[in-house]
């Protein structure tokens, strides 16, 4: 909520005398259907201006105590993502909400690929911001993620090329305003790809921790992954779709059909550690959620057997089981909710 300055105006009633009306308006978040949020207002009338000003002052003082809410944001806008509506979405739907909440913004419209990532790594003065906001699709989020993580590691002297390096958590949060083709990260974190809803989540200071997976090859860092790490079919779909970005979201359908009809197979070795007990079965249809009984059991079991040698825990030491496979696809998903935003043919192929 945000209290506006009180307003006073005179109004003539029945032509007999003039009455002074004082009122102030409070904006608040209202939850609607399909995980969407909307901004609503309620107006309070007071008998005199002093009382009105006192209410506004007290309201703003209480809001200032909410330290999790951002006061200054660095915003990157991708004007080419999705249907090329990123700049218009921000100016018409998001910027008014930020202004209403009293948030100062520095807006940068990207001019090329990796513009945001390069700016975050080298030029951006991150000390004066409470968060970074990206307006675009999943590619724009990936740019901001890579730039922010790389900047944090460089500032703390951490080598990203070392797979065993302990990364330093970023001090700034990333806000996502959906304006892309699929917006799967936004679906996975907010539950919808509505720009107004995402802006309101940012304003009230909501946060959602996310797991980040790093990919290395021969002690060289390649990429970070949050939603999907694919080898085979889905990787080919994304690679081929990049050549037809001018098609917008339809490029995924075209690339998907071409890749599916090519029916390519890939060789690979999957190494894993077999389970030591029979707690849980893939066919019991139990869903893994907060305080999952199976996960809790495995965690307690790991604590109990903490004396297991390091060689036994690492699959590369010969203790893990390995399978040489000819595979059509190998996917690792960080957030299962991303399936909501994928084209229908991909849902069939990924099941």
For the stretch 293-314, pLDDT in tens is: 767 766 665 554 444 444 444 4
What is the model's pLDDT at position 229? Answer: 78
pLDDT band at residue 239 under the 50/70/90 scheme: confident
- Model pLDDT for residues 205-218, shown as the tens digit of each residue: 999 888 888 999 98
> Taking a C-beta distance cutoff of 8 angstroms, is the pair 152, 168 a contact?
yes
- Work out the angle between the directed axes of helices 233-241 and 250-262 (0-180°, nearest 10): 130
User: pLDDT averaged over the chain?
Assistant: 80
Give the strand pairing for 37-46 and 17-31.
Answer: antiparallel
Backbone angles phi, psi at 14, to 5 degrees: 60, 15
Closest CA to 130 of 214, 203, 227: 203
pLDDT band at residue 271 under the 50/70/90 scheme: confident
> Taking a C-beta distance cutoff of 8 angstroms, is the pair 230, 286 a contact?
no
- Six-digit token pair at 255? 């690339």
> Taking a C-beta distance cutoff of 8 angstroms, is the pair 214, 163 a contact?
yes
Q: Which value, to the nearest 10 degrees, does the dihedral of the CA atoms of residues 259, 264, 268, 270 take?
A: 60
Which residues, 6 or more positions from 83, have their beta carbon under 8 angstroms from its beta carbon?
248, 249
Position with higher pLDDT, 52 vs 146: 146
- Model pLDDT for residues 163-193, shown as the tens digit of each residue: 989 999 999 999 999 998 888 899 989 999 9
pLDDT band at residue 49 under the 50/70/90 scheme: confident
Q: How many CB atoms lie within 10 A of CB 267?
A: 8
Three-class secondary structure of residue 231 per DSSP: strand
pLDDT band at residue 347 under the 50/70/90 scheme: very low
236 is catalytic: no
Share of the chain residues as helix, strand and coil, in percent rounded to the nearest 5: 40, 25, 35
Compute the distance between CA of residue 347 and CA of residue 121 in angstroms, rounded to an integer. 36
Give the strand pairing for 220-225 and 213-217.
Answer: antiparallel
What is the model's pLDDT at position 273? Answer: 65
Q: What is the enclosing helix (H) or strand (E) of 104?
A: strand 104-109
- Six-digit token pair at 91? 């100016």
Q: Can you give the pTM of this predicted structure?
A: 0.75
User: Of residues 138, 183, 194, 236, which has the active-site annotation?
Assistant: 138
Q: Residue 71: pLDDT above 60?
A: yes
> Taking a C-beta distance cutoff of 8 angstroms, is the pair 42, 28 a contact?
yes
Which residues, 6 or more positions from 257, have their beta carbon under 8 angstroms from its beta carbon?
345
Three-class secondary structure of residue 169 per DSSP: coil
Q: Residue 133: exposed, middle, or buried by beta-carbon count in 10 A (0-12, 13-18, 19+)?
A: buried
Give the CATH number of domain 72-226. Answer: 3.40.50.10330
Compute the distance between CA of residue 88 and CA of residue 86 in angstroms, rounded to an integer. 6
What is the model's pLDDT at position 144? Answer: 97
- Indicate the domain borders of the chain: 2-64, 72-226, 261-350
- Mean pLDDT, rounded, for 18-35: 83
């Amino acid at each position: 909520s945000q209290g506006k300055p009180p307003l006073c105006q005179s109004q003539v009633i029945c032509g007999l005398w003039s009455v002074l009306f004082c009122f102030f308006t409070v904006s608040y978040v209202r939850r609607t259907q399909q995980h969407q949020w909307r901004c609503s207002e309620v107006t309070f009338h007071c008998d005199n201006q002093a009382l009105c000003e006192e209410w506004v002052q007290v309201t703003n003082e209480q809001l200032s105590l909410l330290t999790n809410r951002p006061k200054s944001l660095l915003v990157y806008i991708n004007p080419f993502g999705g249907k090329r509506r990123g700049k218009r979405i921000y100016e018409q739907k998001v910027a008014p909400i930020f202004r209403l909440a009293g948030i100062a913004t520095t807006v940068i419209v990207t001019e090329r690929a990796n513009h945001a990532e390069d700016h975050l790594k080298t030029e951006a003065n991150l000390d004066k911001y409470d968060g970074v906001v990206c307006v675009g699709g999943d590619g724009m989020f990936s740019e901001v993620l890579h730039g922010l993580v790389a900047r944090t590691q460089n500032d703390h002297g951490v080598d990203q090329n070392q797979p065993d390096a302990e990364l330093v958590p970023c001090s700034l949060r990333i806000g996502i305003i959906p304006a892309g083709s699929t917006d799967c990260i936004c679906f996975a974190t907010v539950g919808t790809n509505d720009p107004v809803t995402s802006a309101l989540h940012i304003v009230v200071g909501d946060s959602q921790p996310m797991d980040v997976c790093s990919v290395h090859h021969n002690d060289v860092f390649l990429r970070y992954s949050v939603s999907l790490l694919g080898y085979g079919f889905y990787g080919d779909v994304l690679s081929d779709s990049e050549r037809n970005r001018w098609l917008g979201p339809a490029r995924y359908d075209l690339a998907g059909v071409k890749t599916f009809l090519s029916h390519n197979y890939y060789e690979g070795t999957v190494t894993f550690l077999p389970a030591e007990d029979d707690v849980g079965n893939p066919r019991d249809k139990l869903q893994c959620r907060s305080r999952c009984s199976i996960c809790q059991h495995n965690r307690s079991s790991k604590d109990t057997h903490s004396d297991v040698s390091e060689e036994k825990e690492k699959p590369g030491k010969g203790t893990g089981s390995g399978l040489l496979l000819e595979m059509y696809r190998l996917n690792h998903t960080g957030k299962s909710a991303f399936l909501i935003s994928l084209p229908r043919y991909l849902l069939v192929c990924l099941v």
